[in-house]
Amino acid sequence: MSAVDTLFSGLRQQGEKAFIPFITAGDPNLKATSELLSALVAQGSHLCEIGIPYSDPIADGPVIQASYTRVLNSGIGLDEIFQMLKETAPSLNAPVVTMVSHAIIHRRGLANYVSAAKESHVAGLIVPDLPVEESADLAAVCKAEDISLIQLITPNTPADRVQRIIDATTGFIYYVSVVGITGERQTLPEEIIESVQSVRDKTDLPICIGFGISTPEHVRLLAPVADGIIVGSAIVRRYASSESISPRQDAGLDTETVRKVGEYVKTLTHALATC
């Protein structure tokens, strides 16, 4: 079992759901990423998703795209991100998974990338631009390293393809709640509950819902059909708006920004815990 499997097994036994924050690796600097991970876990996050910056993001909205651009312009590389995770992840009481383009994995080589991720205490990979039809090679490498290969299902995924994705997924299903790109939304589609339930009827895998989620009300709406709730753009926007951000890798974040992000996340973890 991967660390992701172990987490969800324990949560299910306790009747709990996972809160999963997303932040971009290296934004605004690597020390800040490390500080944010610790703060997010301290406020009740169960698993952390880290975005590996890429010049051509697949489904990311303007907030996350801008964060990727800041990191790429700063010159932070993949090896530096892995080193930060190697130093930070062991102290977190939560697994870390990465959202990463298959182009980055392919460039490094499947076995080399997964081995480096394993050494950096990464527990799972989310690869949004990897079609399920082409995922077998990476799935085999991940299985050998006990790393989950988490795949995505959207509201537009045809029923026959849903089952193919389920069969090729380990860790959890990432269910995309809305059609389109990431970003905060005022409302979520009315049909989402029924759509998620149709996937749940086909699998025992945990289902975690992301895209567009930003309020305690969203969390309460989705909690009955979700095993986990993923929030990204709303968190990234809150730390990116700090006026004291520095790209210096040893700068970290100012205490007030970390506090504000933590307080926001606490409202979401509290909503999830009380559903």
**Measured over all CA atoms, what is the biggest interatomic distance in the chain, rounded to whole angstroms?**
50
What would the pLDDT profile of 207-220 be if each residue is shown by its tens digit?
999 988 999 999 99
Q: Which domains are present in the chain? A: 3-273 (3.20.20.70)
Residue 7: is its pLDDT beyond 50? yes
CA 42 from chain centre, in angstroms, equals 17
Residue 51: the pLDDT is 97
Residue 8: is its pLDDT beyond 90? yes
In eight-state DSSP terms, residue 26 is: T
Average pLDDT score over the chain: 91
Residue 77: the pLDDT is 94
Q: Catalytic site residues? A: 49, 60
Residue 273: is its pLDDT beyond 50? yes
What would the pLDDT profile of 37-54 be if each residue is shown by its tens digit?
999 999 999 999 999 999
Contacts of 217 (CB under 8 A, 6+ apart): 271
Cis upstream peptide for 28 (omega within 30°): yes
Q: 87-91, 114-118, 149-153, 243-247: lowest mean pLDDT where? A: 243-247
What would the pLDDT profile of 227-238 be if each residue is shown by its tens digit?
999 999 999 999
Q: 17-26, 150-159, 247-256: lowest mean pLDDT where? A: 247-256
- Residue 185 exposure: Cα atoms within 13 Å on the Cβ side: 17
Asked whether the CA dihedral 198, 14, 236, 70 is positive or negative, the reply is negative
Of 248 and 43, more confident = 43
With 0-12 / 13-18 / 19 or more C-beta atoms within 10 angstroms meaning exposed / middle / buried, residue 75 is exposed
Residue 254: the pLDDT is 86
Residue 246: the pLDDT is 58
Q: How far apart are CA 23 and CA 33, in angstroms?
A: 8
What would the pLDDT profile of 255-267 be if each residue is shown by its tens digit?
889 999 999 999 9
Q: How many CB atoms lie within 10 A of CB 144?
A: 12
Residue 212: the pLDDT is 83
Residue 93 phi, psi (nearest 5): -90, 50
Contacts of 51 (CB under 8 A, 6+ apart): 22, 23, 24, 25, 60, 64, 67, 68, 98, 99, 100, 232
What would the pLDDT profile of 146-194 be if each residue is shown by its tens digit?
999 999 999 899 989 999 999 999 999 999 986 544 544 556 667 889 8
Alpha helices by DSSP H, listed for 43-130, are: 62-74, 78-88, 102-108, 110-119
Return the residue matching tokens 């299985």: 143
Q: What is the mean pLDDT of residues 2-19?
A: 97
DSSP 198-235: HHHTT--S-EEEESS--SHHHHHHHGGG-SEEEE-HHH
